[in-house]
Amino acid sequence: MKLQKNLLWIPILFAFVWGILGLFVPETLFKFLNTPTENINVSLVATHMVLGVAQISLGIMAFWMRSLKDKAVLSGAMTAVAVILFLFGLEAILVNFVLEGYTMNMILFVQGIIFILLAFVFFMARKPKEA
């Protein structure tokens, strides 16, 4: 269970970095993601703020999940985090290809791949080893 509880620090850290940036300073996040100025509008800002809230919520849930004692419940929690990370990764890749006109924004693409790989790691490590 120690591995699972240590892995749950990853979404907590992502939540506070990306979530805080997306919620409170989305303009800084746009600059980091190389978003063209002509694509920034009220809808994009609102979407990043909603994603920021979603990521902060995931971080809060992951922090709470670290206190779980039952192995079966922790396994389910790890599966839920894996699905959420997969969805965040898929969203980043789809935004990169579809909404940005099939251009390759490497930061967004790499972020999506990292989230999908993290989802795979969380799914594979969902069951604690028997002591």
Q: What pTM was estimated for this model as a whole?
A: 0.77
Nearest to 81 by CA among 2, 11, 14, 5: 11
pLDDT digits (tens, 9 = 90+) for 63-108: 998 888 888 888 898 999 999 999 989 988 887 777 666 666 677 7
Count the neighbouring beta carbons within 10 Å of the beta carbon of residue 111.
21
Domain ranges within the chain, ordered by starting residue: 2-124
pLDDT at 100: 61
